[in-house]
Amino acid sequence: MPPNLPFQNFFMSNDKNTPAPGNAPSSNFVRAIVESDLAAGTHQRDGLPPVITRFPPEPNGYLHIGHAKSICLNFGLARDYAGLCHLRFDDTNPEKEDQEYVDTIMDSVKWLGFSWEREGQEHLYYASDYFEQLYKMAEYLIEKGHAYVDSQSAEDMAKNRGNFGTPGTNSPFRDRPAAESLQLFRDMRAGKYKDGEHILRAKMSEDAMASPVMTNRDPALYRIRHAHHHRTGDAWCIYPMYDYTHPISDAIENITHSLCTLEFQDHRPFYDWLVETLAEGGFFNKPVPRQYEFARLNLTYVVTSKRKLRALVDDGTVTGWDDPRMPTIVGLRRRGYTPESIQLFCERIGVSKADGWIDMSTLEGALRDDLDPKAPRAIAVLRPLKLIVDNFPEGESVECSSPVHPHHPELGKRTFPFTRELWIEQEDFMETPTKGYFRFTPPVGDQPGSRVRLKYGYVVECTGYDKDADGNVIAVHVKYFEDSKSGTPGADNYKVKGNITWVSAASALEAEVRLYDRLFLDPQPDAGGKDFKSVLNPNALETVTAYLEPGMKDAVADQRFQFERHGYFVADRVDSQPGKPVFNRVTTLKDSWGK
Ligand code: ATP
Ligand code: MG
């Protein structure tokens, strides 16, 4: 909540929206605009909140991390300024859209912690519900000479558009009488023409075809598409264009601040012209909505174009839209990201007018900062090597324990047994140690082997090791010191440099662990038209059979842990079975990329 605002007391934005974690959101240019509009009373209207934003996805794919930025911005403004944010499906493209996408988009927005409900009312809208209104407004524009039916071929239309620096040429149909355009438009609706035969275009001004802004050159308003729509079925064979639909939908819904990405800057003159013209015609009340542009999110090591994401799914590079390597919301969720970490990330990257790249480590950092204080700890051995405690009796066990969370003693302790045979990480033994290596090293001549502490257990000394016929180390032998158990009097008398994680071989849970990494090796996989598939990271997924401390058998889907020294892991929401979780690595403990 920003300070010193007069309406602070009637704070009741979208009821269910969870507040962003951490401190109050940092300010940005959009907030500054909203605050000045609030102070000036720009959008004061009876019975309506002073700030109404919208998130307008096209239901033609899954939401990704770029959309999360827009969601956090739009819903965040509503939350922080006693406003309201609509979820609106921009569904004017019948061929590409589907109910499947509508459903997953709703799920993803909710999962991110936002709601389009306010005071018990849902604010879920579909542009397709406005088709009749949009049509009526188009007839009005034709009658007023603000639009005409163009019957040029697609080639002529493209040719006559001119280009940057070259003015366009008026269509020979531009000055046909309004009555003729109106009849043609009605016949287009009635299905008398084939796709592409005619098109409805705006005429913003007499010399619009010479405008230096290409999008002002008689933009298309309607095209003929004999296609089935996922909501309106076969009711329509003409469909409104995005540039026409969007401003009108905003105005119908009383949107105050219509936020979009920078590439729509050039579309703003048309946006303003359209809503002003229609407001003059009595279709909307003033003030009309205003469009503001912000920089889209470009995140390194991912692609966010829906077309490219779809290509990865279709050719089997990933297992689906929810593959944990995908930057989709469903992918990030399955990977183990929390909604709070994504909100935190969006707070941190802020909102500006300057395009740039955000490094993947910023997203991973937000995740670590979110999970560190709340993820229970556990021990996992990902690349197991047998450790045999030769002087520990076979078949016996001693209970060891450690805190569930080092900073939250109230969460209690977890216990696990110490037994004669344990699993340690392969990298914790070196036959010929390098300088400064403080883990297991064997005795050499009359030099004893190294002494290390088995974390939360005993101090042990390396006494030897076994190799198989190929020369691979297959077991390490140690002796333990009975009076060295962690937490018992005298344990501190043993001074050792190494502190090694382990699990008991007798009771460990064997589990599949998926070590995910970035999907691309190149920080900007598709920049400059690069072939993003040529820079795939071949090691983006490594699957290991790991040994986990026994309590992990109770892990349930979506439960997150910090596996000590390895990173953050989540029980996979798709493949985990009761008693048999499968884990995904969300991220490592530290940013080790490129180091
Ligand atoms: P694509 O071009 O890959 O199909 P899109 O941007 O057209 O994606 P929409 O469903 O139209 O996808 O997007 C819905 C909203 O999300 C829009 O308001 C758009 O500006 C915003 N958005 C999409 N991608 C990003 C991004 N990378 N950063 C910020 N906002 C984004
Ligand atoms: Mg779009």
Residue 283 has what DSSP assignment? S
* 410-444 per-position pLDDT tens digit: 999 999 999 999 999 999 999 999 999 999 999 99
Does residue 58 carry a catalytic annotation?
yes
Range with the lowest mean pLDDT among 8-12, 283-287, 387-391? 8-12
What kind of fold does domain 29-127+245-349 have according to CATH? Rossmann fold (3.40.50)
With the most atoms of ligand 1 within 8 angstroms of its CB, the residue from 261, 264, 268, 355 to mutate is: 261
Q: Whose CA is nearest to atom 10 of ligand 1?
A: 57
Q: Is 60 exceeded by the pLDDT of residue 282? A: yes
Query: Is the alpha carbon torsion for 389, 393, 394, 399 positive or negative?
Result: negative
241 CA distance to ligand 1 centroid (A)? 16
Q: Is 50 exceeded by the pLDDT of residue 348? A: yes
58 CA distance to ligand 2 centroid (A)? 6
* pLDDT value of residue 21: 44
Range with the lowest mean pLDDT among 24-28, 51-55, 551-555? 24-28
CATH 2.40.240.10 fits domain 381-403+418-500? yes
CATH architecture of 130-240: Alpha-Beta Complex (3.90)
261 CA distance to ligand 2 centroid (A)? 10
By three-state DSSP, how is residue 213 classified?
A: coil
Q: Which of 35, 58, 139, 197 is labelled catalytic?
A: 58
360 CA distance to ligand 2 centroid (A)? 23
Q: How far apart are CA 61 and CA 104, in angstroms?
A: 9
Q: Which of 499, 504, 541, 543 is nearest to 519 (CA)?
A: 541
Instruction: State percent of the chain over pLDDT 90.
Output: 90
Name the pTM for this structure: 0.92
Q: How far apart are CA 245 and CA 238, in angstroms?
A: 13
* pLDDT value of residue 484: 96
Structural contact between residues 294 and 261, judged by C-beta atoms closer than 8 angstroms: yes
Range with the lowest mean pLDDT among 163-167, 453-457, 501-505? 163-167
Does residue 143 carry a catalytic annotation?
no
Q: Which of 176, 296, 308, 553 is labelled catalytic?
A: 296
Mean pLDDT in the chain? 93
Name the residue type at position 105: I
By three-state DSSP, how is residue 228 classified?
A: coil
Return residue ranges of the chain for CATH 3.90.800.10. 130-240
Of all atoms in ligand 1, which is nearest to the CA of residue 306?
3
Return residue ranges of the chain for CATH 3.40.50.620. 29-127+245-349
Q: Is 70 exceeded by the pLDDT of residue 295? A: yes
Mean pLDDT of 552-561: 97
Q: Whose CA is nearest to atom 23 of ligand 1?
A: 67
- Kindly list the protein residues whose Cβ atom lies closer than 6 A to any atom of ligand 1: 56-58, 66-67, 69-70, 260-261, 296-297, 304-306
> How many residues in total does the chain contain?
595
Return residue ranges of the chain for CATH 2.40.240.10. 381-403+418-500
* 195-217 per-position pLDDT tens digit: 999 999 999 999 999 999 999 99
* pLDDT value of residue 26: 65
* 131-163 per-position pLDDT tens digit: 999 999 999 999 999 999 999 999 999 999 999
Q: Which of 140, 216, 207, 128 is nearest to 174 (CA)?
A: 207
* pLDDT value of residue 1: 35
Q: Is 50 exceeded by the pLDDT of residue 576? A: yes
Q: Whose CA is nearest to atom 22 of ligand 1?
A: 67
* pLDDT value of residue 590: 87
Q: Across 211-281, where does the E strand assignment appear?
A: 220-224, 238-240, 257-261
* pLDDT value of residue 24: 54
Q: Whose CA is nearest to atom 14 of ligand 1?
A: 57
Which residues have a Cβ under 8 Å from the Cβ of 153 and sit 6 or more positions away? none
With the most atoms of ligand 1 within 8 angstroms of its CB, the residue from 67, 109, 299, 342 to mutate is: 67
Mean pLDDT of 477-505: 94
55 CA distance to ligand 2 centroid (A)? 11
* 449-481 per-position pLDDT tens digit: 999 999 999 999 999 999 999 999 999 999 999
Does residue 268 carry a catalytic annotation?
no
